[in-house]
Amino acid sequence: MRLKTEAKPMSKNPGQDLSRRERQIMEIIYRLGRASASDVEKDLDDAPSYSAVRAHLRILEEKGHLTHEQDGPRYVFLPTVSSDVAGESALRGLLRTFFGGSREQMVAALLDSAQRDLSEDELDRMAKLIDEARKDGR
């Protein structure tokens, strides 16, 4: 019996110890929130065989990145680390790699890449967020 999902302890920087496909699959699952093997397969542009996808899911679970629930006849996989936490962590990575640690520069890039599709409302809400951060700070 080796179905016990013996999750190894995870590294501080999740995603660093993932192979190419594994990362690709984790992204899909984070984006979807939860997904079965066939969900993942459908979402993959260059999907290999169904078998291959399942193998990756199994390994990701062994590595402790995923867990699964039984949903009727099939498995539905979910991340073990919440989207929030993983997102923040990933954000910190980018911050360091591309923006020299400057959150300001990062926001600038974010706004810059948006331009066309940022509504007045959305900007308002962002401004409010920053304002609140300011209050919390002091």
Q: Which is nearer to DNA, 6 or 120 (CB)?
A: 6
* Residues in region 74-93 near DNA by CB under 7 A: 74-75
Q: Which residues contact 31 (CB under 8 A, 6 or more apart)?
A: 43
Beta carbons of 35 and 29 less than 8 angstroms apart = yes
String of contacts with DNA for each residue 43-62, x by CB under 7 A: ---x-xxxxx-xxx-xx---
Interface ranges with a second copy (CB under 8 A): 16-20, 24, 27, 30-31, 83-84, 86-88, 90-99, 103-104, 106-115, 118, 120, 122-123, 125-127, 129-131, 133-134, 136-138
Phi-psi region of 6 (alpha: psi -120 to 50; beta: other; left: phi over 0): beta
Asked if 128 interacts with DNA (CB under 7 A), we say no
Beta carbons of 78 and 31 less than 8 angstroms apart = no
Beta carbons of 59 and 22 less than 8 angstroms apart = yes
Residue 128 beta carbon to a second copy: minimum distance, rounded to whole angstroms: 10
